[in-house]
Structure 1
Amino acid sequence: MKILVSALETSSNIHLKELKKYLSDEVEFVGVFDKELGTPLYDLTALAIMGFIDALKKLRFFFKLRDELVELAKDCDKVLLMDSSGFNLPLAKKLKETYPNKQIIYYILPQAWAWKKKRVEKLQAYCTKLCSIIPFEEELYTKKDLITYVGHPLLDEIKHFKQTYEKTNKIIYMPGSRKTEIVNHMPVFRQIVKELPNKEHILIIPSKFDQEYINRVYGDISDFTISNDAHKSLIEAEFGFICSGTATLEASLIGTPFVMSYVAKKLDYFIGRLFVKLPYIGLANIFFDKMGKKAIHKEFFQEEVTFKNLLDEYHNMNKENFLNNSKILREYLKNGSSKNVAQIIQN
């Protein structure tokens, strides 16, 4: 079986690697994905974008990529789209128009519950199966047979969870995987290191980055211990300073107390806040809000992201309470999704 895959995000490819474990060896990926999983059209690092401005700059390239993927789909049995709705929804539309009978599976759905609810109509029109990883997501859809809550992929990928809180003298820093996120967070993180001199400071750097890119984007990292294994480092750490994204949910599930921060280009942040009408940005906080509970962790944005604000949370957070909430979150999401999605693909 040959599957056209469009997985542009780093987090999507982590989920895709886990999914591949449950697929037959005869399944072949073509399209856009991590090079560890086959031979993709393009290196993922060339595709990473952050915000509206970056997207506009690369618009012509993404139109070209869409057309290339539509052409590739001609020889594929099925299509698997993952996250990246700004690219994958127009791609789904073009695929549906070109191959009306081809099965199009969308895994890691656009967050229509957060903003742009009209995407629900598009997903129902273009796709043949929607694999949801958010328990309350199904409520938005009218075609109930089209959407299935498959569980959350992080519960497949995380192998160990904390049951008790311990001071380990290790602090973890996760500045994100996009260039803008990293550049904005590293100066603040370096200040925190100076304020906590008797700790081991572990900096997570994605393994896909080469040394030249690391030197250019991260700046001076001589005071950090470098790690490519986020889950292992989260288990070992007593606290984390984490940029908004999947990593905040990983830490929330594992049970490592942390504070979330996010610094975007001012225009991107303004536009995002204009359209997203949610009380929180962190997924764990959104889940707790849906359960009628208080936020599990603090969130700081833009000018609020100072070393003082982040350090105050490190010193004052109720870490035992965080761990108890982490256990509630694991139960809420119930199970992993990889095996369930693999069955849907191979049926």
Structure 2
Amino acid sequence: MKLYLVAGEASGDARGAELIRALRERDASIEFFGAGGREMRALVGEHFVDWADEAVVGLWDVLKKYGYFKDQFDRMLKELATIQPDALVLIDYPGFNLRLAREAHQRFRKLKIIDYISPQVWAWNRGRIPKMARYLDLMLCIFPFEKPLYEESGLHTVFVGHPILDSLAAKKTGVARDPHLVGLFPGSREKEVRRIFPVMAQAAIRMKSTHPELRFEASAASHQLADRMMSTLEQLGQGEDFCAVTVRASHDLMQRAIAGMVCSGTATLEAAFFGLPLCVVYKVAWLTWIVGKQLVRVPFLGMPNVLAGREIARELLQGDATADALAHETLRLVTNAEHREALQADLRAVIVGLGESGAATRAADAILEELHTPARS
């Protein structure tokens, strides 16, 4: 059996690696091909492309790298024709992966096409779901409310649970929170760090000026991003004694800090899992923001808020994401125990609502079951 997997960024790469391990436990003879990040490549080997560091967010960034993504798109289609896998498994990264799914369906009518980590079309374009049902064979969703939305259009859908319940459980340390430590989590993409970390750092400086006992630590997704963050601190007249920068240690920091400023994305749900009192921050190019405001149909951006159905964690987005506002909200979390504990209780309720652990296992079982059912006509 041959499977061709495509993941587009660090979080998708982690989910893909978990899925590969679960599939191998069931069938060690499965051959894997495709593209993802270093975790998937480490499991699969040289015929798997590591391209996750090229991930972008926003309309303008995509347009600037259009040529690169077009080349990758064409390369993958050629590989599908050569390898002739039993299934194309697409992991998150919907902007690229759904286009690849549609084209693959047109060219390879017998190819099973499976989507793992369902795209958040419920937030910005539910009208796409019936179209997706025409070129996908199976949707694996991670939030319980998604399953009926996809099934309404006749798309075979399995709710597998959220992967963070497995990936983060073993990382719980039980360490006591440091009442003077504030965590900065500016995102895993270069563009996010460039736009968001300076505001976080400026907010930290304001907090330090009124509460000199506070200390700060920032989490970087790579050494390259850590260097950029240190450069930003130096430009602001600060050094590592003011804000330490650690690499790939976000989960540890989420458990040690008393509060955190967190870039919107997967990290907000990770923070919820670890019970970190947080405020959600996001800034993108203004063109992307204007277009996004016209498309998004949910009132919140942070996933804990989406799942709670209300703003349990304060969201500071785009023009509202100022250093003063961020400092004010984070200080409220640091100094107001009642407010902090109420938020932590809300975060616990959100995580309980995600169901049980075992997402990768259930996803692997659903994929193998789908591969043993007749292909669509």
SS at 1:342 equivalent: helix
1:235 matched to 2:271: no
Structure 2 match to 1:192: 203
Shift of 1:227: 3.5
Hey, what does 1:252 align to over in structure 2?
Answer: 272
C-alpha displacement at 1:138, in angstroms? 2.1
Which protein has the larger Cα radius of gyration, Structure 1 or Structure 2?
2
How far is 1:161 from its partner? 5.8
Distance 1:177 1:259 in 2: 17
> Structure 2 residue aligned with 1:151, among 147, 150, 161?
161
| CA–CA separation in structure 2 for the residues paired with 1:166 and 1:215 | 27
Q: Do the aligned residues in 1 keep the contact of 2:15 with 2:91 (CA within 8 Å)?
A: no
Partner of 2:336: none
> 2:127: which partner in 1?
118
CA contact (8 A) 2:185 2:261 kept: yes
Distance in 1, Cα, partners of 2:49 & 2:119 = 23
Say how many residue pairs are matched. Answer: 339
Which residue is 1:13 aligned to?
A: 13
> Structure 1 residue 127 and structure 2 residue 136: aligned?
yes
Q: Structure 1 pair 332/43, CA: closer, same or farther in 2 (3 Å)?
A: same
Superposition RMSD in Å: 2.2
Any conservation in 2 of the 1:13–1:34 contact (CA below 8 Å)? yes
- Contact 1:165–1:319 (Cα < 8 Å) also in 2: no
Alpha-carbon separation, structure 2, partners of 1:27 and 1:106: 18
Q: Which moved more, 1:269-278 or 1:305-314?
A: 305-314
Match in the other structure for 1:334: 355
Give yes or no for the alignment of 1:202 onto 2:205: no
Aligned partners of 1:165 and 1:323 also within 8 Å = no
Partner of residue 67 from structure 2, selected from 42, 53, 60: 60
Q: 1:99 offset after TM fit, Å?
A: 1.5
Q: Which one of the candidate residues 20, 25, 38 is aligned to 1:35?
A: 38
Give the TM-score normalised by structure 2.
Answer: 0.83
Indicate yes or no: 2:112 matched with 1:103: yes
- Contact (CA 8 Å) 2:133, 2:154: kept in 1 or not? no
CA distance in 2, matches of 1:215, 1:307: 22
Equivalent-residue separation in structure 1 for 2:148 and 2:33 (angstroms): 33
Q: 2:313 aligns with which of 260, 275, 297?
A: 297
Identity of aligned residues (%): 28
CA deviation after TM superposition for structure 1 residue 323, in Å: 1.5
| Deviation for aligned residue 1:165 | 8.2
Q: 1:215 matched to which residue of 2?
A: 227
1:42 Cα deviation from its structure 2 partner: 4.5
Q: Given the superposition, is the C-alpha separation of residues 166 and 179 from structure 1 closer, same or farther in structure 2, using an over 3 Å criterion?
A: closer
Higher share of residues assigned helix: 2
Q: Is the 8 A contact 1:243 1:262 kept in 2?
A: yes
Q: Which amino acid aligns with 2:77?
A: V
Structure 1 SS opposite 2:49:
coil
Contact 2:147 2:157 in 1 (8 A): yes
Is the contact made by 2:5 and 2:89 (CA closer than 8 Å) also made in structure 1?
A: yes
- What amino acid sits opposite 1:331 in the alignment? V
Structure 2 CA distance, aligned partners of 1:218 and 1:137?
Answer: 40
- Tell me, what secondary structure is at the counterpart of 1:273? helix
| Structure 2: stretches of 5+ with no match in the other structure | 234-238, 334-338, 370-377
Unaligned runs of 5+ in 1: none
CA distance 1:105–1:296, shift in 2 (3 Å): same
Q: TM-score, normalised by structure 1?
A: 0.90
